[in-house]
Amino acid sequence: MSGPKCGHYSVVSAEELGRRRLYAAKDRFERASAAVISYSLELNSVIQTYGPLDMSPLVRDVPSGDDAAEWESAASKLLEDLVAKRSALAETVATARVRRFTEAARNVTATLTEEAPRHRPVVEPTIVEATVLRVLHRMPLTAAPELIARSEELAEEALRLTGPQAQDRVLSALRFVVQRAQDRARLIEHNSGQIEMLHERLDGLEGTEVERVRGSLRALQLDRSLPDDVETRVTRVVESALAGQDQRYVLTEAQAALADLGYDVEPDFVTMVPHDGALLDLPHTSRHGVMIRARDHQLLVNVVRYDESGQRDPVADTAAEERFCEDFSRLRAALSSRGVDLEMLRSDAPGTTPIQVVRSAPSRVRRQHQKARPHAARTREQPT
């Protein structure tokens, strides 16, 4: 049966799927490495603010081979170490803030003692100080600078006040500031997790739209609600990129298989097929060719006739379709051996449907037709 044909293709090549997994793992490791650099910059900033800290640097173990599992394991370990380091840094910073406040509290106490009138007893700030210390310790590492500055102002003000009501008012304001910082930190943590999952879906993919979406994800403000359509946009781009990967692989393998069968396949075959289709001369006739197109995970193939006059010759057309039958069976078998599963959705018998007539150099063909010359079998390289 070699009338018009349509088959749904899917890539099952272990080698190709393994290559994609490797690229995705390398992308994930690269993002983890970027996070380590960000952590190092953050650590340096903290040291400039609070002085030397007892924090060891993060060490990256970069895999040397092309084992996807090794890259995935290295990325996971790096991210786990990063989480642990950030948690330790947050605790260290909290302790440093408390230490700095304690020193300030001593200065305030000394000042109050010196300035207190002889007839008025000095109010010991011990209870207030303890309360402030507990509140300040809850200030998250990702607190905005203005919230940190405000909390320190309120903490010092609470120590300077002597009236219980005034102290309670300031302490309430301090708790509110810290609560705002905690709410912001939770939002940042949530958004970071959501964005990380979206990045993982893009790992291993290429293309202008993929890079544009990656850029938009990096530009999102973590302390703001994420756009409602961000996940939908990523899903759309991922589906398109995956379809493009499958299509390029299928057409690259089809190009090699057709060349091995003796078809004159031009170098730009892969880019021609998805749009308007590529036209190849049949090796066994000078008046017929085969049109190949690809869309929506479907490969469409049909025999066409070259004819300036447009007159039909059903007998010759049917004969050309019958001759192509064996080539198509070989093409399908070659694709299967190369890891492409082609499930036939349509396969008309020769002569069932009038074949398409292609006049001289139609615009959609984008090339001048020449009679095919048989090609010797050649060695392929796996597409990269």
Least confident range from 7-16, 137-146, 329-338: namely 137-146
Provide mean pLDDT across the span 218-231.
Answer: 96
Least confident range from 29-38, 309-318, 342-351: namely 309-318
Which pairs count as long-range contacts for 115-124, CB under 8 Å and 24+ apart, including other chains? 123/162
pLDDT of residue 358: 82
pLDDT of residue 363: 34
Identify the CA nearest to 50 among candidates 91, 20, 8: 91
- Which two tokens mark 338? 């190369």
Name beta bridge partners: 340. 11
Identify the CA nearest to 129 among candidates 148, 105, 110: 105
Token match 């990967």: residue?
245
Neighbours of 46 (CB within 10 A): 18
pLDDT of residue 383: 38
Q: Where are the alpha helices (DSSP H) in the chain?
A: 14-50, 68-115, 126-137, 145-160, 164-202, 208-219, 230-260, 269-272, 314-337
Least confident range from 52-61, 70-79, 212-221, 243-252: namely 52-61
pLDDT of residue 369: 39
Contact between 295 and 306 under an 8 Å Cβ cutoff? The reply is no
Question: pLDDT tens, 257-273?
Answer: 999 999 999 899 999 89
Eight-state DSSP code of residue 41 = H
Give the chain's mean pLDDT: 86
pLDDT of residue 142: 86
Question: pLDDT tens, 269-311?
Answer: 999 898 778 999 888 888 888 999 999 999 999 998 887 656 6
Question: pLDDT tens, 51-100?
Answer: 887 777 788 889 999 999 999 999 999 999 999 999 999 888 888 888 88
Identify the CA nearest to 280 among candidates 216, 369, 343, 149: 369
Rounded distance, CA 43 to CA 38, Å? 9
Residues in CB range of 70: below 8 A, 6 or more apart: 63
pLDDT of residue 96: 85
Provide mean pLDDT across the span 24-50.
Answer: 90
Comparing 10 with 114, the larger pLDDT belongs to: 10
Provide mean pLDDT across the span 154-177.
Answer: 90
Eight-state DSSP code of residue 163 = S
User: Domain map of the chain by residue range?
Assistant: 15-226, 245-358
Provide mean pLDDT across the span 148-162.
Answer: 87
- 3-state secondary structure (DSSP) of residue 126: helix
Instruction: Name the amino acid, one letter, at 322.
Output: E
Provide mean pLDDT across the span 162-184.
Answer: 93
Comparing 339 with 133, the larger pLDDT belongs to: 339
Neighbours of 136 (CB within 10 A): 21
Eight-state DSSP code of residue 242 = H
> What is the Cβ-side half-sphere exposure of residue 246, based on CA atoms within 13 angstroms?
20
Question: pLDDT tens, 100-153?
Answer: 888 777 776 666 555 555 544 444 557 888 898 899 889 998 899 899 999 989
Question: pLDDT tens, 359-382?
Answer: 753 433 444 434 444 444 444 343
Comparing 34 with 368, the larger pLDDT belongs to: 34
pLDDT of residue 360: 52
pLDDT of residue 125: 53
